[in-house]
Amino acid sequence: MIYTGGTIGMRPGHRGLEPGHDFEQRARVQLDRLPAERRAALPRFHCLAYRDPIDSSNTRPEHWARIAHDVLAHQHEYDGFVILHGTDTLAWTAASLSWQLAGLNKPIIVSGAQQPLEVESGDALANLEQALRFAACPGLAEVAVAFGGRLLRGDAARKWDTHAHQGFASPNANWLGEWLDHAPVLHVTRSRPPEGVCRPMPWPLEAPPRVARLALWPGIDSDMMARLLTPELQGLVLEVWGSGNVPEDPALLALLSTATRRGCLIVAISQCPHGSLAMTSYATGHALRTAGVIDGGAMTPEAVFTRLSHLLSLGLSPQQCRHHLVP
* Binding-site annotation: residue ranges: 56, 87-88
Amino acid identity of residue 53, one-letter, is P
The answer to whether residue 87 is catalytic is yes
Can you say whether the dihedral through the CA atoms of 202, 207, 208, 209 is positive or negative? negative
| CA pair distance 258, 168, nearest whole angstrom | 38
| CA pair distance 133, 131, nearest whole angstrom | 6
> Residues 4, 59, 87, 89: which is the catalytic one?
87
Q: Where are the beta strands (DSSP E) in the chain?
A: 2-3, 10-13, 16-19, 48-49, 81-84, 108-111, 143-147, 150-153, 158-159, 168-169, 177-180, 183-186, 211-215, 235-240, 265-270, 294-295
Amino acid identity of residue 229, one-letter, is L
| CA pair distance 217, 271, nearest whole angstrom | 10
- Coil, helix or strand at residue 311: helix
| CA pair distance 65, 99, nearest whole angstrom | 11
Residues making up the annotated binding site for substrate are 56, 87-88
Question: DSSP of 151-217, one letter per residue?
Answer: EEETTT-EE--SS-SS-EE-TTS--SEEEETTEEEES-SSPPPPSS---PPPSS-SS---EEEEE--
> Residues 4, 7, 93, 260: which is the catalytic one?
7
- Inter-CA distances, 137 with 24, 41, 81, 179, Å: 22, 12, 11, 12
Residues marked active site are found at 7, 87
